Structure 1
Amino acid sequence: MYKIDEVTKMTGLTKRAVRYYEEIGLILPPSRTKGNVRLYTEDEVSELKKVAEAKEVLGFSLQELQEFMSLKRTIEQAKRDQDVSAQDVLEIENMIHTQMEMIMYKVDKMMTFKEELEAMHKRATDIRKRKEQEE
């Protein structure tokens, strides 16, 4: 079990961000000591790391992260729940498909941006080489 100070060092998040993510339901509330100190499990720290990466690397908004985490919890619940209907699972599949489409859209945008940067880099290199030859 980890206290919030340790969690912030492990995830790169601030205490304020961790508390806010709990407040808005992005992460489930951790267990607490009798003194009301938050204690995080290894799995909860891992989940926070994934949230931080998705926000930083993929540029997910908090709303998109909430949808993703909610979907993840729904899948875990459906896996344990014998009373889940085929229609419920189909809805989950559709939500997952929507999330994958959103990610592919972002990947496409990132690739376009990367290609533009590569072209700019090549132009800058060509200009520098030409200037060096002129000198």
Structure 2
Amino acid sequence: MIRAADGAVRADGAVRADGAVRNNCLVRDGDAAKSPVKSAAKSAVKDAARDLRGIGQAAQELGVSVRALRYYQEVGLLTPSGRTLGGNRLYADSDLARVRRIRELQTLLGFNLDEIRTILAYEDRLAQVRQEYHAASDDADRIRLLTEGTSAYRRLRVEIDEKISRLVAFRDEIDERIERADRLAKGVADSSQ
């Protein structure tokens, strides 16, 4: 931790001379000493800064390249949780979970980036609906949110069903090629005897 002349402290070592707060990473020592609430806030800021990691560390933890993380941001799939005072990207655990989800959809399930963008948009909206549902104060709002959530799940299900149909058609095409190759091989073997 480094302290600037004006008392500004940054948990990751970067200090801005004016003591300005940016990305909830910069606190002033003097402010925290004035009240227990500010002291708790200072502790929370330090904890939050500790939970963030730079792009290199995030890439290493995820087993992806730094370029991949930048690309996911460029195409709108990922937004870093913050930036250092120098402008470097900072990633929280939730950002890493999102990249893992992107990789799962891409490599294991075979979705392209446009399909992933659509799926993530549904998942983001559903998470927002869940939060709004828990904050709703009356039954009419809860019913509206449940209806919206159910509708979003149905649309997501249609996207997945379409992908499954395309995969089944591709598998059937491969099966036909295997059968054709087997018949040709049998024909060649029979004619050479």
TM superposition score category, shorter chain reference = 0.7 to 0.9
Counterpart in 2 of 1:44? 95
Is 2:140 aligned against 1:83? no
Instruction: State whether residues 80 and 95 of structure 2, in contact with CA within 8 Å, keep that contact through their aligned partners in structure 1.
Output: no
- CA spacing shift, 1:49–1:11, aligned 2, 3 Å: farther
- CA spacing shift, 1:11–1:87, aligned 2, 3 Å: farther
1:111 CA displacement? 0.7
Q: Name whichever structure is richer in helix by fraction.
A: 1
Q: Choose the corresponding residue for 2:172, options 106, 111, 115.
A: 115
> Cα RMSD over matched residues?
2.7
Aligned residue for 2:112, secondary structure, equals coil
CA distance in structure 1 between the partners assigned to 2:98 and 2:154 by the alignment: 21
Q: Choose the corresponding residue for 1:93, options 144, 150, 156.
A: 150
Deviations 1:51-101 (A, max 9, x none): 133245333342x43332232222223323313822133122112201111
Amino acid across the alignment from 1:74: R
- CA spacing shift, 1:24–1:124, aligned 2, 3 Å: closer
Percent same amino acid at aligned positions? 20
1:114 CA displacement? 0.3
Amino acid across the alignment from 1:58: G
- CA spacing shift, 1:23–1:31, aligned 2, 3 Å: same
CA distance in structure 2 between the partners assigned to 1:109 and 1:39 by the alignment: 38
Instruction: State whether residues 71 and 92 of structure 1, in contact with CA within 8 Å, keep that contact through their aligned partners in structure 2.
Output: no
CA distance in structure 1 between the partners assigned to 2:181 and 2:66 by the alignment: 38
For normalisation by structure 2, the TM-score amounts to 0.56
Task: Select between 5-14 and 24-33 the one with higher mean Cα deviation.
Answer: 5-14
Q: Name whichever structure is richer in strand by fraction.
A: 2
**Structure with the greater alpha carbon radius of gyration:** 2
Counterpart in 1 of 2:110? 58
Which runs of 5 or more residues in structure 1 are unaligned? none
Which runs of 5 or more residues in structure 2 are unaligned? 1-51
Give the number of equivalent residue pairs: 133
Higher relative contact order (CA 8 A, sep 6+): 1
Instruction: State whether residues 3 and 37 of structure 1, in contact with CA within 8 Å, keep that contact through their aligned partners in structure 2.
Output: yes
Aligned residue for 1:35, secondary structure, equals coil
- CA spacing shift, 1:130–1:100, aligned 2, 3 Å: same
